[in-house]
Chains A and B, each alone.
Chain A
Amino acid sequence: DTAVSQTPKYLVTQMGNDKSIKCEQNLGHDTMYWYKQDSKKFLKIMFSYNNKELIINETVPNRFSPKSPDKAHLNLHINSLELGDSAVYFCASSQALRSPLHFGNGTRLTVT
């Protein structure tokens, strides 16, 4: 009965490939996010969506394209994967502007 679920959990792929990560939340939240956690454990926001509308795009390369088909889903598509894209990607959601975020279990992406 996971509140924020991401698939896949692990993703290993080669440079130049295109891949997608899916995220779904069943909390009824209006806002969803993607965060990147690098090898040094730094957490950096990539995108936030509110009611399916893009609110924040934090200088992410345009190889990364989020898609929100409805409020409960925020998928992340990555084109032409690079070695530096290797990281753990976390999806999250929140109810209101100042509410805490609820995180998914993360997707560990390894680009070889």
Chain B
Amino acid sequence: AQRVTQPEKLLSVFKGAPVELKCNYSYSGSPELFWYVQYSRQRLQLLLRHISRESIKGFTADLNKGETSFHLKKPFAQEEDSAMYYCALKSDYKLSFGAGTTVTVRA
């Protein structure tokens, strides 16, 4: 069975401060991991996928197979980063989401 765990339900940081959202997974195969972002009352948008190793909106995420983690990081948070962030694991025909972390960036 696959599982995605996001231990923090809420995260509040000041503008300009670093932010890290934790994600751990359990999966017996080779994982395909993603981060999605949902701004207030909008659709989910793909933020990052581990296979592409790129930085989007200043966010990065590194897959650590030893620790089974895929934490999301940004060195300097901006107010427009306030949103709900979901870590997700894709196996055949199914994307399983963590419970989500609500990020609030305060001025």
Contact = CB atoms under 8 A, between A and B. Distances in A.
Interface stretch (B12-20, B42-50, B63-71): B42-50
A100 B93 contact: no
A97 B93 contact: yes
B97 A43 contact: yes
Given A98-B32, A100-B34, A48 B94 contact: yes
A50 interface: yes
Contact of A56 (B34, B43, B94): B94
Interface in B41-96: 42-46, 49, 84, 86, 90, 92-96
A55 B99 contact: no
Interface string B93-107: 111110110100000
Give chain B's interface secondary structure class. Answer: strand
A21 to B, nearest CB: 14
Contacts of A106: 43
A100 B50 CA distance: 11
Nearest to A42: B99
Nearest to A44: B97
A60 to B, nearest CB: 13
A42 B34 contact: no
Contact of B46 (A33, A44, A56, A100): A100
24 contacts: A40-B99, A41-B84, A41-B99, A42-B97, A42-B100, A43-B44, A43-B97, A43-B100, A44-B97, A45-B94, A45-B95, A50-B93, A55-B93, A90-B43, A92-B95, A97-B93, A98-B90, A100-B46, A100-B49, A101-B44, A101-B90, A103-B43, A104-B43, A105-B43
A31 interface: yes
